[in-house]
Structure 1
Amino acid sequence: MNSSEPSMNRYIWASDPALAQISPGVLIQDRYQVIAPQIWLDTQPEAAPHVPQELPEEIISYLRLFPQRLHIPEVYGVAVLGEEPNTAEVILLENVPIDSEGNLYPAIVEQWHHAQAVRQVYWLWQILQLWTPLSELEVASSLLIPENIRVQGWRVRLLQLFSDRTIPNQAQPNLAAFCDRWLEWIASSHPSVVDRLRQIWQQIGNEQQSLETVSLELNELLLEKAAELPLRLQVAGGTDQGPKRSSNEDSCYPTEADLQLITESPNDLLIPNFTLVCDGIGGHEGGEVASLMALQTLKLQVRALLIEISQQTEIVPPNIISEQITAIIRVVNDLIAKQNDSQGREMRQRMGTTLVMGLQIPQKINQPDGTFLENAHELYIASVGDSRVYWITGDYCQQLTLDDDVATREVRLGRSVYREALRRVDGGALTQALGTREAQILRPTVQRFILEEDGILLLCSDGLSDKNTVEQSWQEFAKPVLKNKMSLETAVQSWINLANERNGHDNTSVVLTRCLISPEPPVLFEPKKVETEMPTTAYPVESELTEASKALLYSPATHPEAGETVDVQTVRRGSWLTVLTTLAIIVVVGLIGLGVWRSLTPQNPPPTPETPETPNQ
């Protein structure tokens, strides 16, 4: 877990509207300088903000909504204003829609008329997805104030949360009020979507229509408009053991060797639109095996998932795809867990791996004239552990994933402000990883995004993300790549080199996907082969594994489905990968055979368990 902060101005939002009357330049508590109405600059960012021992009730909703941090601000601290006994506590917020110069990002109503049709629908989709979690915490009023809703490119962001209890009873927020408030803005939408948006949105206030039904219709419109845009993807990746490690417990996909397979082995094709980083846990006697097992099993199952989706004649809803990705990850978890069991590994001796994966699913969109559009631009991100995913454009860098660690757990349970939780001795310890426990208590995070702007998707292990290296370096590498001034391969190696310089204590894996919607800019760099420092293998080959790792891999293991024991001599006579592949295929067939897509019913994830933390790698 990162403990240092990017070297930039730390602007915060003073949540009490009455403070908007304070003149710019005033210094509050000899620390916070007023920059603009309710925008303060912390002049002592190295000092911990004040947080009362007993958290005010107003803070709890922010903590519970921490998984929505892409859209919801976070609690920074509390400022105590006035003199005793007439003091007042003001909640200070960070991760607010304020740019690096201290200016608010524009309100959605200011940008609505300038946005393309797909972005207008995407903004409404995000707002609609926020309704349920905010309603459950009685802060849905925050979505009824257009000035409170800001936009940063594709992303909807709230300035702050407003309690529903502060509104008179007759004006309590409900779906009808939600519908009425936004219909006036929908009326000025792009001509290509205005009629359908009005029709879809009016159903929200109809008690006979469920919110899920409305969401499905809005999703179909979103995918139709996204599919009208061109999309070109380019990928590069690499992994390095680092200057202080004797082995590499990371695995990633694809690397240069994987990309070479397209020309050298046409029958062993690259899995399209799939990227992966796994960071092994358990030392070189286990971590490298766990991450490699996860990589190879996921490749098989993702290929099967893509084939299944390509055969569907109707749009597969996001919740169904998310459930399938979750099921796949749990299968991978059980394969590693069974290997641990067969070795008698307990507690901290159990091998495991973190996981971040990106999967761009090219669903086809049928048009009224009988033709179809090839790609609806859906991007699914899945994560377990503390490896990370970032979305980077020419203007901003956004962390898309949350670390599964003790600090995050304490915030989600409403017990601590994030900055306070980070200062715990065990704040960075993992609370879950693949293979360390049974799948029933594993909670992978799966998110769906729409690719509708130029950008770079960055997947990395904590060898790069530690010490906020990505946040501090993205402009140096991402901007040249987007402008075609630097190759994607050079950016991968440059980030690995930087990680080795700043965070050389660990292995590092980096996978980049360049996503282009705009026309291809002219190439301004000299095309050349990948530098010799770039790893030449996609994963450790059998001969490179240590004897201890081979023992883990070749021990008798329990069949994941039939419960049969695999004879160790049988495994030795053939490639261990062939055996693992066979097991994974059986599991994939079992998953696909569960039923047709439309017959699947959503399953509620299990509640967040207060499990003991897993040691960080």
Structure 2
Amino acid sequence: MSSSAPSMNRYLWASDPASAQISPGVRIQDRYQVIAPQIWLDTQPEVPPYVPQELPEETIPYLRLFPQRLHIPEVYGIAVLGEEPDNAEVILLENVPIDSEGNLYPAIIEQWHHTKAVRQVYWLWQILQLWTPLSELGVASSLLVPENIRVQGWRVWLLQLFSDSPEIDRTNSTYPEPSLTAFCDCWLEWIAGSHPSVLDRLEQIWQQIGDRRKTLDEISLELNQLLLEKAAELPLRLQVAGATDQGPMRSSNEDSCYPTESDFLLQTESPNDLLIPNFTLVCDGIGGHEGGEVASLMALQTLKLQVRALLVEIAQQTEIVPPNVICEQITAIIRVVNDLIAKQNDSQGREMRQRMGTTLVMGLQIPQKINKPDGTILENAHELFIASVGDSRIYWITADYCQQITIDDDVATREVRLGRSFYREALRRVDGGALTQALGTREAQILRPTVQRFILEEEGMLLLCSDGLSDKNTVEESWQEFAKPVLKNKISLEDAVQSWINLANEKNGHDNTSVVLTRCLLSPEPPVLFEPRKVEVEAESEAQTPTASYPLESEFTEASKALLYSEATQPEAGETVDVETVRRGGWLTVLVTLGVLVVFGLIGFGVWRSLIPQNTPPAQETQVNPND
């Protein structure tokens, strides 16, 4: 379920340039404290900001671009300056490149000459990917103002959006005419200062944009080749740990996740049960006991088989598989899972709100081989693909920041994407956190998984979790306490997983919790070895046990059910549902499920078994060193 922003300083960006003339220290509407030019602090974050009945036209691109929230700010509300009839409305933006102290993150042009080659290429890749969606909404000019483009580590982050409208006075070169030629000219100046190892190829690629010798898709493929080459030159080691917990107030666990300690033990006891390298997954089941838990298990088992086949298929390719092709393949796999669960619902006579389903977040690091122009073959291109359906989440965490890199599939998100509401206003709806899609509740043709590609070029941790942890902004408010010790080699990954589960049980004990952590290291040295020790978990007394009035078997909200199940599945008037069929579950259901899974995964699993040596023991850590 969605939740509001964390209870920390809420710094906003006043997008009207005229607001830069307001002196620091001035308080606007007895609420917003001016900290610096165009940087305001909301001193009453608990009070909803003002939202006009008719949304200003300038805010629509922000709303439509909500899926790009890693790179694009969000509209917070409107501030009114002055008195009628001379008052002016100022659009206030949140999710802006401002740190926790109220300082702007550096502009890309300030950092360009001080960063490594792979990051320079990665920044340009992100900018190029933003050109088309921004152009379609008439705000591509935002990419032609280098001071408007800020960076937070790997991430390109726009300060605000500038309209391409011809009414804008373009005599000032700050707002050049948006065109591919202007785009090329703008960035060629900065590319000239690139790292020597990428300078010539970057200039060649970028000049092709200006003279239109190639399409943007062709140019993207060339830039992608260079990006993967530079990333693959770095060593990469991955460490993973995961666990799922029933929670203190639930009678069963509807979550499933991968891998867990039992998966590592299983591969030790049975060499044929090899772990899938670089694959992590969290599923949060919907539908109650013998419904949600079966759906999440089905999703996990099917995805394992399908991912194995995908990895084999990609490993057989002699050329780089473009990121959009892999995203399409992952989407197709998720739809297969959806249909499998939906058919299980049909076979058991589950209708409408009795249909089981599950959310999903997965991470898959695909080690594509890279053939460099000089004939060198690099073993791992550092590509990380993530996919999500529902409201389980993925975060990327470093020693300096925590970034939510998935978007919840809920009513609040839908209202923003359709241009109907500001996000904070949408969250106030009674059904704001109700899910709009999950696996298995409806047919696959209307399922829209979100699949993204990232490059691992900095050290950090990938956190996958169910909303048992992410509710009430638990991750945003606790990441420094729980993640930094791991990144500084003070505690093990397993201890961090258990600590986060303990915290979730304390703060959000009404739900199951699943946590899977992957630590990404870019150093060739072996990892620090931790002395094996048990995690001591003190039992709380009854007085310390949360007393919130949550039912043991918390059903999904009525709003969520109404959204998740299509009207086509509603029973006709007078039609009844076989209660015994609906209740049928437990191990019998699981066994039937696994039988169906074998049919879906037989081909992929057979190929995998024939290609992977059976005597090769997998390791909990995967190390790829290009110097080997």
Deviation, 1:211, is: 0.3
Aligned pairs for 1:400-479 within 5 A: 400-479=405-484
* Cα pair 1:81 1:87 within 8 Å, conserved: yes
- 1:278 aligned to 2:283? yes
What SS class does the counterpart of residue 196 from structure 2 fall into? coil
Unaligned runs of 5+ in 1: 534-546, 556-570, 593-617
Deviation, 1:259, is: 1.5
What SS class does the counterpart of residue 194 from structure 1 fall into? helix
CA 1:108 to 1:45, structure 2 compared with 1: closer, same or farther past 3 Å? same
Question: Of residues 168, 173, 177 in structure 1, which corresponds to 2:178?
Answer: 173
Aligned-partner Cα distance in 2 for 1:428–1:517: 37
Q: Which residue identity lines up with residue 358 of structure 1 in the other structure?
A: G
Q: Which residue identity lines up with residue 128 of structure 2 in the other structure?
A: L
* Cα pair 1:282 1:349 within 8 Å, conserved: yes
* Cα pair 2:305 2:605 within 8 Å, conserved: no
* Cα pair 1:485 1:523 within 8 Å, conserved: no
Aligned pairs for 1:500-511 within 5 A: 500-511=505-516
- 1:212 aligned to 2:228? no
Which stretch of the first structure deviates more once superposed, 516-525 or 413-422?
516-525
What SS class does the counterpart of residue 101 from structure 1 fall into? coil
Match of 2:22 in 1: 22
* Cα pair 1:9 1:41 within 8 Å, conserved: yes
CA 1:372 to 1:237, structure 2 compared with 1: closer, same or farther past 3 Å? same
Match of 1:162 in 2: 162
* Cα pair 2:397 2:483 within 8 Å, conserved: yes
Which stretch of the first structure deviates more once superposed, 182-191 or 364-373?
364-373
* Cα pair 1:113 1:189 within 8 Å, conserved: yes
What SS class does the counterpart of residue 207 from structure 2 fall into? helix
**Deviation sequence 1:410-429 (CA, Å, 0-9, x none):** 00000000011001011111
- 1:579 aligned to 2:601? no
* Cα pair 1:31 1:42 within 8 Å, conserved: yes
- 1:551 aligned to 2:584? yes
Match of 2:368 in 1: 363
Aligned pairs for 1:87-126 within 5 A: 87-126=87-126
Deviation, 1:2, is: 3.7
* Cα pair 1:330 1:439 within 8 Å, conserved: yes
Aligned-partner Cα distance in 2 for 1:588–1:426: 41
* Cα pair 1:343 1:552 within 8 Å, conserved: no
* Cα pair 2:34 2:40 within 8 Å, conserved: yes
TM norm structure 1: 0.88
Deviation, 1:477, is: 1.2
- Count of aligned pairs: 563
CA 1:489 to 1:58, structure 2 compared with 1: closer, same or farther past 3 Å? same
The percentage of aligned residue pairs carrying the same residue is 83
- 1:348 aligned to 2:353? yes
* Cα pair 1:204 1:214 within 8 Å, conserved: yes
TM norm structure 2: 0.86
- 1:304 aligned to 2:322? no
CA 1:590 to 1:517, structure 2 compared with 1: closer, same or farther past 3 Å? closer
Deviation, 1:527, is: 3.3
Aligned-partner Cα distance in 2 for 1:327–1:346: 25
What SS class does the counterpart of residue 193 from structure 1 fall into? helix
Question: In angstroms, what is the RMSD of aligned CA positions?
Answer: 2.3
Aligned-partner Cα distance in 2 for 1:273–1:212: 28
- 1:256 aligned to 2:261? yes
Deviation, 1:548, is: 8.1
**Deviation sequence 1:210-248 (CA, Å, 0-9, x none):** 100000000000000000001100000000010000000
* Cα pair 2:2 2:432 within 8 Å, conserved: no
Aligned pairs for 1:189-268 within 5 A: 189-268=194-273
* Cα pair 1:457 1:513 within 8 Å, conserved: yes
Aligned-partner Cα distance in 2 for 1:33–1:367: 53
Q: Which residue identity lines up with residue 210 of structure 2 in the other structure?
A: G
Aligned-partner Cα distance in 2 for 1:383–1:586: 25
Match of 1:559 in 2: none
Match of 1:604 in 2: none
Deviation, 1:549, is: 8.7
Deviation, 1:577, is: 5.8
Aligned-partner Cα distance in 2 for 1:457–1:50: 36
Aligned-partner Cα distance in 2 for 1:197–1:236: 39
What SS class does the counterpart of residue 317 from structure 2 fall into? coil
- 1:49 aligned to 2:49? yes
* Cα pair 1:50 1:78 within 8 Å, conserved: yes
Deviation, 1:172, is: 2.9
What SS class does the counterpart of residue 382 from structure 1 fall into? strand
Q: Which residue identity lines up with residue 510 of structure 2 in the other structure?
A: H
CA 1:110 to 1:277, structure 2 compared with 1: closer, same or farther past 3 Å? same
Aligned-partner Cα distance in 2 for 1:173–1:206: 15
* Cα pair 1:553 1:576 within 8 Å, conserved: no
* Cα pair 1:297 1:580 within 8 Å, conserved: no
Aligned-partner Cα distance in 2 for 1:81–1:369: 61
Deviation, 1:589, is: 9.0
Deviation, 1:251, is: 0.2
Aligned-partner Cα distance in 2 for 1:282–1:91: 42
CA 1:518 to 1:586, structure 2 compared with 1: closer, same or farther past 3 Å? closer
